[in-house]
A = this chain, B = another copy of it.
């Protein structure tokens, strides 16, 4: 791992995160890979806590992903154990054994079935993760769990992250105010080595697992699934949402519905907040880039075009160089394979339309665009001119920092 220690210029401060009734959490230094820092995190939840999850689409996932997918079928959770430094991916039978041993140790401490323990690992791929490193550290960690451990938890799950990521929101369900806290780690959608995206959210609301899962599955679409750093997809990406029910709100139907409208708003806000924090910590990122595509034949097409732009190394390096190179944006639209008509296409940056109807805008003045490109947040707008499909995605620029972080030897 490279010793990149400077904090991203796009960092935002960790907000004050109060307790979530029912959740106790904390961290420990288990020496899994790092020295002199925490690398193990645990959360404990009361009996009856419901859970929802979304996982990587990568077809070579880590052993903890297999475990969580199976555990999720029960819809209940009483513990979460996460380690940083080793992803426990491509570790064969040894990896499965580590997952089972960790779940059993946590279940014994929490006094719950192993299937109510959720697990996540992030770090290097292909090295065996010795279960003892975790199981030896767990009893003291469990003993010290407390309601006020959110910042410590956010720090313990970091890998190449340059700042801890957290968000908090409140919502009203049936007249009762509930709170949602979330923490995340990741410097991209991306790196199997050190930059898996993990996100753990807890609320004191009482919400059935099915309704929770429905909201989470929809919520990740315009948030975590609308963010890319380098188009690479980790083998360990995980988002888990736990609901303790300690707030005592009125019963919510299995199917959710109107009663959860405000909660859904708050959850969506929190997911987007955390996803953008991940983009802001993209490896080597100097600029946060927002890409709005309109006028595509449909929403799916708009999204594919937006990602073609967001993942183009040429677009990303141009922005790193503060070059309003709209030709590269046109190229990316064209390579997406989506319906587009060169002679109807419009491209804008920072609110200034530079090209329209297949050519540069008459009298185009580059000055306001050049000024916009010098800022930390760059906005690209593309109108395809064919329909009503629209999508927004976020990414960051591609800089020497990315090469430094990912081109250095692991050891």
Binding site for B on A (CB under 8 A): 57-61, 87, 89-95, 124-127, 190-193, 230-235, 311-314, 317-318, 320-323, 325-328, 330-340, 342-343, 345, 355, 357-360, 398-400, 402-403, 406-410
User: Chain A interface secondary structure, helix, strand, loop or mixed?
Assistant: loop
| Contacting pair A327 B403 (CB below 8 A) | no
The residues of B that contact A340 with a CB separation of less than 8 Å are 59-60
- Cβ contact within 8 Å between B328 and A192: yes
- List 30 interface pairs A-B (beta carbons < 8 Å), by A numbering: A58-B331, A59-B333, A59-B340, A60-B330, A60-B333, A60-B334, A60-B340, A61-B334, A91-B360, A92-B358, A92-B359, A94-B359, A95-B359, A125-B330, A126-B359, A126-B360, A127-B360, A192-B314, A192-B331, A231-B231, A231-B312, A232-B331, A233-B335, A235-B331, A313-B313, A323-B408, A323-B410, A325-B410, A398-B403, A399-B403
Q: A234 and B90: CB pair below 8 A?
A: no
Known: A58-B334, A193-B328. A317 touches B359 (CB 8 A): no
- A125 close to B327 (CB less than 8 A): yes
Q: Which of B95, B233, B409 sits near A322, CB closer than 8 Å?
A: B409
**A322 / chain B contacts, CB cutoff of 8 Å:** 409
User: Looking at the complex, which one of B60, B90, B193 makes contact with A314 (CB distance below 8 Å)?
Assistant: B193
Contact call B235/A92, Cβ cutoff below 8 A: no
Q: Which of A91, A231, A340: most chain B CB closer than 10 A?
A: A231
| Contact A407–B60 (Cβ < 8 Å) | no
- Give the nearest-CB partner of A91 in chain B: B359
On whether the beta carbons of B59 and A334 are closer than 8 Å, the reply is: yes
Give every chain B residue within 8 A of A191 (Cβ-Cβ): 314, 328
Residue on B nearest A92 in the bound complex, by CB: B359
Contact A126 B326 (CB under 8 A): yes
**Chain B contacts of A343 at CB under 8 A?**
92
Q: Chain B residues with Cβ under 8 A from A230's Cβ? A: 313-314
